Structure 1
Amino acid sequence: MTLTFYTNPQSRGRIVRWMLEETGASYDIVVLGYADSMKSDDYRAINPMMKVPAIVHDGRVVTETAAICAYLADAFPQAGLAPRTDEERAAYYRWMFFAAGPMETAIINKSMGVEPDADQQRMAGYGNFALAAGVLEQAVATTRFVAGDRFTAADVYVGSGIGWYTRFGLLPQNGVFDAYLERIESRDAFKRAGELDDAAAAAAS
């Protein structure tokens, strides 16, 4: 088994690093620079978008952070990060793809100062920011974890987004988000991944 992880420690690659640490799998890491190696011909052959993260697992390329998390959960079932029941599976895919689609679009538009008017809200998959943020809050308020009572890969992806967005003021900090983050960020794999990425960022500076 070969597993290579392409990343930059100051990117969404931090999400995949956490996911990899949760799986317990061995992996090689390639740290890429935004201005140079991320745009190289070698890396463009892996991801023509010239973005990180990406993984190559036994010759199979997976890009897009949510897809990588879901793939790794299936590839390493012993870690117990994939859904086990129909109820878990429904919530797992629902909220992972909500976070990757409508919520991320709403966040990006907000950070760029884009506010859709009433007509544009009918076209936008997220409607408006307040609606999307309220739905996300409800998703983590009603159960211990986003897919139910058990931690899954969906929490790695959804939780990373909530952590990032609240710390940078893109989502409001409140008791619901704080309690959820406390549950997931207390995990050893989360702490270990953060330490590894912080060390990689320091080494690259």
Structure 2
Amino acid sequence: MMSELTFYTNPMSRGQIVRWMLEEVGAPYDTEVLDYASSMKGEAYRAINPMMKVPTIVHHGSVVTECAAICTYLADVFPEAGLGPREEEKADYYRWLFFAAGPLEQAVTNKAAGFEPSEERSRMFGYGNYDLAVNTLAEHVAGRDFICGPRFTAADVYVGSAVLWGVQFGTLPKLNSFVAYADRLSERDAYKRAKDIDNKLIAEMQPVG
């Protein structure tokens, strides 16, 4: 029986973020694995996401794209999972979700592409410069367990994914606060389940012999 939630992904993509969020939510979902060269560019998927990228979810016929949006959407429509913000958590929850999706993302991707704004031009960019964006987040996660304080929320799936990836692959420095935060997140059962699922899919996609 088909579920009311379909997850379009490729295991070697940012779909791993949404897979983790889905495992945290615990609701049933169907997975459609797309290939970069064919099905992701096919007419059927283009009708769902014209950007021809993953991840995407379709829930009750409604399409949601962009990892940060998907994480917040799932927290909202599955409140029983307890991943949305409490009243006193809303400021940190929304601030750092949008910080990671905006300034941090821009700073990291621009640096990876070999572009860093000069001091004179840094005011033109929403993140100023790479070090400023990185240190701002590092200072926030220092001395606290999670983004909103002692309690894990959907913000930790998205922001935490950026930190986990960055520390592992060198797009973020291995600052003590980042490493400690990443270690806490990687011990979560839902994170481990999601990684196991995607790692198995990646292994199945590898050529034999």
Moved over 2 A (4+): none
Measured after TM superposition, the shift of residue 118 of structure 1 is 1.8
Kept in 1: contact 2:6–2:32 (CA 8 A): yes
Please state whether the residue corresponding to 1:118 is helix, strand or coil.
coil
Report matched runs for 1:51-130 at 5 Å: 51-85=53-87, 87-130=88-131
The runs of 5 or more residues in structure 2 that have no matched partner are none
Does 2:177 align with 1:169? Answer: no
Measured after TM superposition, the shift of residue 50 of structure 1 is 0.6
* Aligned residue in 1 for 2:39: 37
Measured after TM superposition, the shift of residue 143 of structure 1 is 2.2
* Aligned residue in 2 for 1:193: 194
Deviation by residue 1:37-70 (Cα, 9 ceiling, x = unmatched): 1111111111111110000000010000000000
Deviation by residue 1:95-134 (Cα, 9 ceiling, x = unmatched): 0110001100100001000010123211100000000000
* Aligned residue in 1 for 2:24: 22
Please state whether the residue corresponding to 2:150 is helix, strand or coil.
coil
- Hey, what's the Cα distance between the residues in 2 that align with 1:66 and 1:142? 24
Please state whether the residue corresponding to 1:49 is helix, strand or coil.
coil
- Hey, what's the Cα distance between the residues in 2 that align with 1:124 and 1:136? 17
Q: Could you tell me the TM-score, scaled by structure 1's length?
A: 0.97
* Aligned residue in 2 for 1:48: 50
- Hey, what's the Cα distance between the residues in 2 that align with 1:50 and 1:40? 8
The runs of 5 or more residues in structure 1 that have no matched partner are none
Q: Could you tell me the TM-score, scaled by structure 2's length?
A: 0.95
Measured after TM superposition, the shift of residue 139 of structure 1 is 1.7
Deviation by residue 1:143-182 (Cα, 9 ceiling, x = unmatched): 2110121000000000000010111111111211111111
Superposed CA RMSD in Å reads 0.9
- Hey, what's the Cα distance between the residues in 2 that align with 1:97 and 1:126? 12
- Hey, what's the Cα distance between the residues in 2 that align with 1:169 and 1:180? 16
- Hey, what's the Cα distance between the residues in 1 that align with 2:104 and 2:157? 15
**Aligned pairs, how many?**
204
Please state whether the residue corresponding to 1:55 is helix, strand or coil.
strand
